Amino acid sequence: MIDVLLATYNGERYIEEQIESILAQTYQDFRILIRDDGSTDGTVPIIERYATKYPEKIVIIKDGKKGGSAAKNFFHLIGAAESDYVMFSDQDDYWLPDKIAVTYRIMQKIEQKKGKNTPILAFATYKAVDGELKDTGFNEKNNQISAFKLDFNHLLVQNYVTGCLTMVNKALYTKCGDFDDRILMHDWWMALLASSCGVIYHIPDVVMLYRQHGDNEVGAVDVKSLRYRIDKFLDKKTSSMQYLYLDQAKLFMKRYGRIMPVEEYNSLKTFISIYSYKFKIKRMHVLLKGKYLKGDIVRAIGQLWYI
């Protein structure tokens, strides 16, 4: 059994089409757990209607808690999950019919090699479309400047995992713990856990249409464009974000330091200590030696500049 976790907030425009695309999957051994985070539009009546129509497939989680962010909403859903595997769904995308089947097949192959007790994360690929599901000509390669860098050190400073393309096994999601404001995104947190204590794997198959519209909380951006690179280099937030990465890393050490392999533990310890060095040149040396760097030269230079 697979639990599909669907987090909603004011998503009436696309939520029906998304639910229909999940219900139409070729692999049917799943249920959808939906949690709304205080919508003020017609989202709640829509999901309640679907839950009434498909009681064996759809469960609405009502815990009375206010999330306030997509990450927190998903953490509440993770706490309600019970199945052997979990997938994550945004409210405005469109799943191709074999999304679950393709991802689950890869997950099974990895578990056969590594065992069910190993935390495993597998994530696939999307194609970007507009609000009417028309191809925008934008693909996932535009959203990642370099090849996926899924080693722990790179993931400490940049997330390469898209939650709505992801499946994790029970050995992983039961270790996520409670939400903390220092956790930047649920998918990033799980990527760190999988890369340090288990297995993380990218599936090249396109399994989902990723809608681009004005309401996306986190949307696909052409990070290869010169304009984007210059803007990111000049953005003052680039400096403050590095402190957020460190805060997340410190929390990760607190929760998982005792179970991490020695190599990853030492890497995390070194990364956390970076601001203990008085001189910038030493901090730059630590980043370069440990390869705690963004995925392209422009953003890596910006990272070194602001360290």
Are residues 163 and 33 located together in one domain of the fold?
A: yes
Are residues 141 and 278 located together in one domain of the fold?
A: no
Give the burial class of 54: count Cβ atoms within 10 A of its Cβ; 0-12 exposed, 13-18 middle, 19 or more buried: middle
Number of domains in the chain: 2
Are residues 180 and 88 located together in one domain of the fold?
A: yes
- The helix/strand/coil state of 220 is coil
Are residues 203 and 254 located together in one domain of the fold?
A: no
pLDDT at 149: 86
Are residues 243 and 196 located together in one domain of the fold?
A: no
Distance CA 155, CA 218 (A): 18
Are residues 272 and 194 located together in one domain of the fold?
A: no
86: nearest Cα among 183, 186, 205: 186
Domain assignment of residue 27, given as a range:
2-211
Helix, strand, coil percentages, rounded to 5, for the chain: 45, 20, 35
Cβ 282 vs Cβ 214: under 8 Å:
no
From 183, 211, 239, the end of a domain falls on 211
Is 219 a member of any domain?
no
Assign 278 a pLDDT band (cuts: 50, 70, 90).
confident
Is 218 a member of any domain?
no
264: nearest Cα among 296, 295, 292: 292
Are residues 205 and 242 located together in one domain of the fold?
A: no
pLDDT in tens, 42-83: 999 999 999 999 999 999 999 888 778 999 999 999 999 999
Distance CA 210, CA 175 (A): 28
From 211, 235, 265, the end of a domain falls on 211
Are residues 99 and 177 located together in one domain of the fold?
A: yes
pLDDT at 276: 87
Is 217 a member of any domain?
no
Are residues 11 and 138 located together in one domain of the fold?
A: yes
pLDDT in tens, 214-258: 665 445 555 556 666 666 666 666 667 889 999 999 999 999 999
Nearest 5°: CA angle at 79, between 77 and 84? Answer: 90
| CATH code of 171's domain | 3.90.550.10
Is 61 a member of any domain?
yes
From 185, 211, 237, the end of a domain falls on 211
pLDDT at 145: 41
pLDDT in tens, 135-187: 988 766 555 544 578 999 999 999 999 999 999 999 999 999 999 999 999 99
Is 58 a member of any domain?
yes
Distance CA 10, CA 2 (A): 25
For 98-114, what is the mean pLDDT? 99
